[in-house]
Amino acid sequence: MRPRITSSIILAAGAVASASPSWPASSSSSSSSRLDARQSSSECSALHIIGAREANADMGYGSTEPFVTMLLDNLPEVTAEPLKYPALGGDDYHASVSYGLGVLMNETQRIFDRCPETKMILVGYSTGAQIIDDVLCGGPDPPSLVTDTILMPPEIGKKIAAVIWFGNPRFIGGMPYNVGTAELGGFAARQEGFVCETYADRIRSYCDAGDLYCSQGDSELTHGTYPVKYGGSALRFIQQRLGINSTAGEPFETHGDRPSAGNWISRPSHGVGFLALGTTLALLLS
Ligand SMILES: *[C@@H]1O[C@H](CO)[C@@H](O)[C@H](O)[C@H]1NC(C)=O
Ligand SMILES: *[C@@H]1O[C@H](CO)[C@@H](O)[C@H](O)[C@H]1NC(C)=O
């Protein structure tokens, strides 16, 4: 199956979401008993992707979808789940980001507790990238995150194999992990000269000049085309990080069936096929 490649136009911080998404429920008691017992390594994938979508996108992978699909098709023993946060815009933007920080913290902790050997790949689009940025690199990001503390505990941070940001509002020019033509910072830009030292060699941050959200431009189209334009570059970076010798051919090519990877697997192209770590995502999607 060939992944669908969509170049959606994204409204990162625009109007209030038309439909109010359900807020994630905390883990149900039925799933927590399963999570209590560390599962055998055969039930844990080697790699697990978390895709954090942009504000105002429906629950799911949002604009990370084509790239997450590409990773699922090109990396071995890989599973994925979307970050289940509200992704609201307008007046609720900052509260939604703050909530997303907690969700990402909890989810990475949960993965680590259950599958301590699993390496994680974090993919964020726009607001989703902002959330990952704040968790890994710290604040302040007022009013979403008023402290400068780095939230991610080091023992879990060690499990983060690679981080991909598309159109991150925290973008500033000059960071060593920047890719693209942008120089001006985004609407939640970092302080001039900031570098996320701890994760610098694991991050690729894609932002082009003219992007409305990561670089003070006026183009939503620019903001929406990163997976198509840079997906191959980001995939190669991840393969490099993982020490995988890529004989995979063209990035968007698929390789038929991959080995079953436990019960985490999600195929974004299937729409609603995800089962994330035993939680009841299906309920959230209804
Ligand atoms: C994260 O987990 C803590 C502890 O279980 C819980 O109190 C908090 O509500 C969770 N946060 C989110 C955003 O799910
Ligand atoms: C992959 O491995 C082969 C054999 O070890 C080597 O010759 C080749 O240069 C490698 N390719 C890359 C892209 O690393």
| 218: CATH | 3.40.50.1820
Q: Does residue 40 carry a catalytic annotation? A: no
Task: Give ligand 2 pocket residues (Cβ under 6 A).
Answer: 245-246
Find the catalytic residue in 73, 96, 205, 223. Answer: 223
Lowest mean pLDDT among 74-83, 192-201, 202-211, 250-259: 250-259
Joined together, the tokens standing for residue 187 give: 């609407």
Provide the pLDDT for residue 42.
64
**Collapsing DSSP states into helix, strand and coil, what is residue 35?**
helix
Q: Is the pLDDT of residue 259 over 50?
A: no
Whether 11 is in a domain gets the answer no
Q: Where are the alpha helices (DSSP H) in 122-258?
A: 127-137, 154-157, 220-224, 226-242
Establish how many alpha carbons lie within 13 A of residue 253's alpha carbon, considering only the half-sphere containing its beta carbon: 7
Task: Looking at the CA of 249, name the nearest ligand.
Answer: 2
Of the chain, the end-to-end C-alpha distance in Å amounts to 26
Q: Is the pLDDT of residue 28 over 60?
A: no
Lowest mean pLDDT among 127-136, 207-216, 277-286: 277-286
Q: Is the pLDDT of residue 213 over 70?
A: yes
**Collapsing DSSP states into helix, strand and coil, what is residue 239?**
helix
Task: Looking at the CA of 248, name the nearest ligand.
Answer: 2
Provide the pLDDT for residue 41.
55
Establish how many alpha carbons lie within 13 A of residue 171's alpha carbon, considering only the half-sphere containing its beta carbon: 38
Mean pLDDT of 218-240: 95
Whether 111 is in a domain gets the answer yes
Position of tokens 């299906």?
A: 282
Going from the Cα of 253 to the center of ligand 2, the distance in angstroms, rounded, reads: 19
Q: Is the pLDDT of residue 278 over 70?
A: no
Mean pLDDT of 46-60: 97
Whether 196 is in a domain gets the answer yes
Provide the pLDDT for residue 270.
31
- Give, as one character, the DSSP assignment of residue 197: G
Q: State the burial class of residue 54 (Cβ atoms within 10 Å of its Cβ: 0-12, 13-18, 19+).
A: buried
Lowest mean pLDDT among 69-78, 81-90, 203-212, 274-283: 274-283
Whether 33 is in a domain gets the answer no
What is the value of pTM for the model shown?
0.75
pLDDT over 70, % of the chain: 71
Is the beta carbon of 32 within 6 A of some atom in ligand 1?
no
Q: Which helix (H) or strand (E) holds 163?
A: strand 160-166
Q: Is the pLDDT of residue 261 over 50?
A: no
Ligand 1 atom at shortest distance from the alpha carbon of 105 = 1
Ligand 1 atom at shortest distance from the alpha carbon of 103 = 13
Provide the pLDDT for residue 8.
34
Whether 16 is in a domain gets the answer no
Closest alpha carbon to 238 in 177, 175, 153: 177
Provide the pLDDT for residue 244.
87
Q: Which helix (H) or strand (E) holds 101?
A: helix 93-114
Ligand 2, atom 10: nearest CA belongs to which residue? 245
Rounded to an integer, what distance in angstroms lies between the CA atom of residue 267 and that of residue 67? 12
- Domain carrying residue 240: 41-285
Of residues 153 and 32, the one with the higher pLDDT is 153
pLDDT over 90, % of the chain: 70
Going from the Cα of 245 to the center of ligand 2, the distance in angstroms, rounded, reads: 6
Mean pLDDT of 183-199: 97
Residue 84, Ramachandran bin (φ over 0: left; ψ between -120 and 50: alpha; else beta): beta
Our count of domains for the chain comes to 1
Provide the pLDDT for residue 248.
45
Provide the pLDDT for residue 247.
53
Mean pLDDT of 179-185: 97
Whether 12 is in a domain gets the answer no
Q: Is the pLDDT of residue 37 over 90?
A: no
Is the beta carbon of 35 within 6 A of some atom in ligand 1?
no
Whether 213 is in a domain gets the answer yes
Q: Does residue 20 carry a catalytic annotation? A: no
Whether 10 is in a domain gets the answer no
